Amino acid sequence: MHTAQALAPETNDNWWRGAVIYQIYPRSFQDSTGNGIGDLRGIVQRLPYIAKLGVDAIWISPFFTSPMADFGYDVSDFRDVDPVFGTLADFDAVVETAHALGLKVMIDLVFSHTSDQHPWFVGSRKAVPNPHSDYYVWADAKPDGTPPNNWLSIFGGSAWHWEGRRCQYYLHNFLASQPDLNFHNPVVQDELLDIAKFWLERGVNGFRLDTINFYFADQALRDNPALPEDQRNDLTAPKVNPYNHQEHLYDKNRPETLGFLRRLRALMDGYNAAAVGEVGDSQRGLEILGEYTAGDDLMQMCYAFELLASHRPEAADIAEIFAKLDDVATNGWACWAFSNHDVARHKSRWGLSAAADRCFATLLMCLRGSACIYQGEELGLTEAEVPFEDLQDPYGIEFWPEFKGRDGCRTPMVWEPSNGNGGFSSNAKTWLPVPQTHLSHAASTAESDPDSLLHHYRRAIAFRQAHHALRAGDMQLLSSDGALTFTRTSGDETLFCAFNLGDTPRQTDLPTGQWQPVGRELGTAALPPEGGLTLEPWHVFLATKT
């Protein structure tokens, strides 16, 4: 059907190509101080567990100084650690320990906006001119006093907030306490590059770039056009949010972004560092992914939201995504994830059985691109039901009950089944409650069961690491009308991959040639006799060409 371009084998300079990255949400990973909140020393304590999974890198969500209105994605000091997470020395210990275990360290850089408590904004909001006056996106009101245009915030309402000190509006694509930086000001770009350099000098190996397509806003502040109802979806915002009613041509996705990304890439190249950008767009996500990763002077990886959608992907969906990717990102590189800190856990979102969970884990390790695993998915954690009175996420509080926010995927990790807090904290109360239903999925329980999902993830990751064709080879889609089948090829290695992503048996055919089944530890079916291959529900067939 479609063939993606083959790439040269990865070297130390492109370790990221085909890498498996483990995302850590630090508030919920491990509490080392007994205050009910995870921290950096807790991460150090649990790094051997991550290394044993066989992944290449960790991505740590924000730990910078912050008033925590959006739990770290509102930064007030980019060069320091918030006391709730520890100190810079604790971060250095994370890097040192991770590197000793063979893990790369990627951190979450939030460049599109800051907290309103950041010193830059404290200065910028003043009426009198000062060095930070042009650090943010400011605009006069319309003659009738209303906001400059029709742009909307992802967190609800207008994207503009009135500032009485300046008698102007400022832009905020998220909370009103998260003002957007003015990337059209070259001094702002220089400041942000200096922040990236600060962390590179501390030994980080790369970045996850939050809302990478939000960096620039249209200087003319043109209104976004309406989006026809039949083109709306909930990839970037819940259906109850009118944000979905606009085509976001001017508040994000601006062409000027590429210039800044080239500057950032030039800096990173000096440190053999890599970045994965978050592309938040419901209509052009894959296309923007292709734009931002095309060539050696832009970002190494980006991810769009297609596999983070609420709809469980079927064979035809996977084929459609990769066909489009082949068209719009021929020279780019995707990073795939089924879950993260912003969406309901895919175990619940897609209603997966134990067999389906294993099948999708194997699929993730066979797809062309890099892969992200979100903490706890390897344990089969489900989306938690968090009572309204325990909610922390401002997004969920705003749109409750139609949209319950992101707290359900952010509850603490469960390490031990006997502890009321799952071994996460010694405190009687944790920042989000530990679901009692999660305790039976604790890591120690999974460790002692060779048939657990945890061990399946380890086997699937090891299988990927053992086959260069899966890490960096090309991908040719063969069929999707029943089972999903494709080949992965690198050099003289070719793997045939077949997945039944459904609840009924599916028929498919092997490509011409001699094939030897591999991946028996992942449930690969036996080589069929002459004729077609029958895959039972949620079964996988993997074979290498001989």
Residue 522 is part of a domain; what is its CATH number?
2.60.40.1180
Q: Does residue 329 fall inside a structural domain?
A: yes
Residues 409 and 523 in one domain: no
Beta bridge partners of 171: 160
Q: Checking DSSP bridges between strand 540-545 and strand 493-499, what pairing results, if any?
A: antiparallel
> What was the pLDDT predicted at 7?
42
Mean pLDDT within 205-223: 98
What digits encode the pLDDT tens for the residues 66-114? 999 999 999 999 999 999 999 999 999 999 999 999 999 999 999 999 9
Answer yes or no: 140 catalytic.
no
Residues 430 and 482 in one domain: no
What does the DSSP assignment read for 19-35? -EEEEE-GGGT--SSSS
Range of the domain at 365: 2-116+183-461
Residues 16 and 70 in one domain: yes
Domain end (from 429, 461, 493): 461
C-alpha 77/C-alpha 85 separation (Å) is 14
Residue 131, SS3 per DSSP: coil
Which comes out higher in pLDDT, residue 414 or 13? 414
Residues 388 and 525 in one domain: no
Average pLDDT, the chain: 95
Q: Pick from 291-300, 393-402, 525-534 the range whose average pLDDT is largest.
A: 291-300
Q: Does residue 425 fall inside a structural domain?
A: yes
Q: What share of the chain is helix, strand, coil (3-state, %, to 5)?
A: 30, 20, 50
> What was the pLDDT predicted at 35?
97
Long-range contacts: 403-408, Cβ < 8 Å, 24+? 403/238, 403/239, 403/240, 403/241, 406/341, 406/342, 406/343, 407/432, 408/344, 408/345, 408/383, 408/384
Q: Does residue 431 fall inside a structural domain?
A: yes
Q: Does residue 517 fall inside a structural domain?
A: yes
Residue in 183, 191, 235, 177 with CA at minimum distance from that of residue 212: 183
Domain end (from 461, 482, 506): 461
142 pLDDT more than 70 = yes
* CATH code, 350: 3.20.20.80
Q: pLDDT band at 12, cuts 50/70/90? A: low
Answer yes or no: 210 catalytic.
yes
Residues 331 and 389 in one domain: yes
Q: Does residue 436 fall inside a structural domain?
A: yes
Residue 191, SS3 per DSSP: helix
C-alpha 350/C-alpha 346 separation (Å) is 6
Domain end (from 461, 486, 501): 461
C-alpha 467/C-alpha 493 separation (Å) is 8
Beta bridge partners of 475: 488
Mean pLDDT within 326-334: 95
The catalytic position among 278, 326, 377, 393 is 278
C-alpha 112/C-alpha 305 separation (Å) is 19
What digits encode the pLDDT tens for the residues 148-170? 999 999 999 999 999 999 999 99
Q: Does residue 129 fall inside a structural domain?
A: no
Residues 244 and 314 in one domain: yes
Residues 412 and 492 in one domain: no
Q: Does residue 122 fall inside a structural domain?
A: no
4 pLDDT more than 60 = no
Residues 422 and 495 in one domain: no
Residues 403 and 259 in one domain: yes
Q: Does residue 155 fall inside a structural domain?
A: no
Residues 502 and 436 in one domain: no
The residue count for the chain: 546
Per the confidence metrics, is the pTM higher than 0.85? yes
The catalytic position among 210, 251, 291, 383 is 210
Residues 247 and 351 in one domain: yes
What does the DSSP assignment read for 414-454? ---SSSTTTTS-SSSS-SSPPPGGGGGG-HHHHHT-TTSHH
Residues 419 and 526 in one domain: no
Total domains, the chain:
2
What digits encode the pLDDT tens for the residues 18-77? 999 999 999 999 999 999 999 999 999 999 999 999 999 999 999 999 999 999 999 999
Beta bridge partners of 295: none
